[in-house]
Amino acid sequence: MHTVTLIPGDGIGPEITEVAKRCVEATGVKIKWEVREAGEAAIEKYGTPLPQETIESIKRNKVAWKGPITTPIGEGFRSVNVSLRKLLNLYVCLRPYKFYKGVRSNFSQVDLVVVRENTEDLYAGIEFEQGREDTKKLIEFIKEVKGEKIREDSGISIKPISIEGSRRIVKAAFEYALKNGRKKVTAVHKANIMKFSDGLFLKVAREVASFYEGKIEFEDRLVDNMCMQLVQKPQNYDVLVLPNLYGDIISDLCAGLVGGLGVAPGANIGDEIAVFEPTHGSAPKYKGMNRVNPTGMILSGVMMLRHLGEKEAADRLEKALSQVIEEGKKVTYDFKSTPDDPTAAGTTEMGEAIIEKLLQF
């Protein structure tokens, strides 16, 4: 019996979580769900979007499965997702992008995994606001030390990239490749321009890669070139490892290659704890309508089952889901050529079709 912290989340979160939970349970794997709150519902009850008992539960169980959570705008609350990553040191953002027959996409041979660094880079949140005293001091300091003139009316964001941060993310990419029968890791960067940040990332990536020589192939690409390559010949790539910002952008590009955010799963992983989730947000306008696609949430459940060592159950659930998508009969509106197609199934009906398939294997 596994114990997993289950966070239904906001907006469409509770409905996709319920359907995906039923699919995971239908595999026969025994999981005790510790349901905890985060997001808007938690603010009403606890006065914070991330209550202590939710954090404690994740720390205790080491595995969590969450629906999307709304980030309130301008109310002084930090994003729950960012807070979780920081608090639990979830430094790997892992996102597989695989094409399933029946999905609307211009590509059919995509099977990529994005391994994005989650804690450093321009996302570290070290920012200097235009016009402030500390910003003026920084501009003055840079002029003194570097002899470089930055315009006085500038705002500045800092891009820290460390040896330790780079080493652990590249190692995570190679270990994932080894464990999952992947052939190649590609490091993505802009080291020709940002020599001391991206250059360091690349240098460390090469060092780490040397330990896997003969087992996993290694190459690197400039991020701009990578974008072009991915839309021209995505089949040439396998596992991509990237610093935070490029990882964010390339992730959405890859989601576009496989049919959009509705079908893409993800996980945030640290040395001890892993949190699985779909990559899309809480889509508030669809809340409670039983309309949205549960695929991203179900596939994040597939990733979670693999993480729990339940490989056979994970493979069966993925197979059932892919067959339902390929048949195209019980699928949600976003698989159809027009969003108002009357033959589209609801979230629950799609889930039921997946369970029916699963029980046939």
Catalytic residue numbers read 123, 190, 224, 248
Contacts of the segment 94-97: beta carbons below 8 A, 24+ positions apart: 94/172, 94/176, 94/266, 94/267, 94/268, 94/269, 94/303, 95/251, 95/254, 95/264, 95/265, 95/266, 95/267, 95/279, 96/265, 96/299, 96/303, 97/254, 97/255, 97/257, 97/258, 97/264
3-state SS class at 218 = strand
Least CB distance to ligand NAD at residue 317 (A)? 17
Token readout for 125 is 């949140």
Contacts of the segment 152-156: beta carbons below 8 A, 24+ positions apart: 154/130, 155/127, 155/128, 155/129, 155/130, 156/127, 156/128
Least CB distance to ligand NAD at residue 306 (A)? 20
Q: Return the closest-CA partner of residue 122 out of 95, 161, 155.
A: 161
Q: Which helix (H) or strand (E) holds 45?
A: helix 40-46
For residues 113 and 331, which CB has a smaller minimum distance to ligand NAD in the complex?
331
**What mask, x for binding ligand NAD by CB under 6 A, covers residues 206 to 245?**
----------------------------------------
Which residues 72-131 are close enough to bind ligand NAD by CB under 6 A?
81
Least CB distance to ligand NAD at residue 339 (A)? 8
Which residues 54-73 are close enough to bind ligand NAD by CB under 6 A?
68-71
For residues 175 and 252, which CB has a smaller minimum distance to ligand NAD in the complex?
252
Which residues 316-335 are close enough to bind ligand NAD by CB under 6 A?
334
Q: ∠ CA(268), CA(273), CA(274), 5° rounding?
A: 35
Alpha-carbon span 227 to 240, nearest angstrom: 12
Residue nearest to ligand NAD (CB): 281
For residues 118 and 282, which CB has a smaller minimum distance to ligand NAD in the complex?
282
Pairing mode of beta strands 217-222, 239-242? unpaired
Least CB distance to ligand NAD at residue 92 (A)? 15
Alpha-carbon span 66 to 60, nearest angstrom: 16
Amino acid at position 125, single letter: G
Alpha-carbon span 300 to 308, nearest angstrom: 12
Least CB distance to ligand NAD at residue 298 (A)? 10
Least CB distance to ligand NAD at residue 78 (A)? 11
For residues 40 and 198, which CB has a smaller minimum distance to ligand NAD in the complex?
40
Alpha-carbon span 353 to 320, nearest angstrom: 9
Amino acid at position 185, single letter: V
What backbone phi and psi angles, to 5 degrees, belong to 228? -65, -45
Which residues 251-310 are close enough to bind ligand NAD by CB under 6 A?
261-262, 277, 280-283, 285, 292-293, 296
Binding residues for ligand NAD, total number by CB under 6 A: 17
Token readout for 257 is 């290659």
For residues 81 and 166, which CB has a smaller minimum distance to ligand NAD in the complex?
81
Least CB distance to ligand NAD at residue 290 (A)? 11
- Are the CB atoms for 231 and 253 separated by under 8 Å? yes
The residue ranges that bind ligand NAD (CB under 6 A) are 68-71, 81, 261-262, 277, 280-283, 285, 292-293, 296, 334
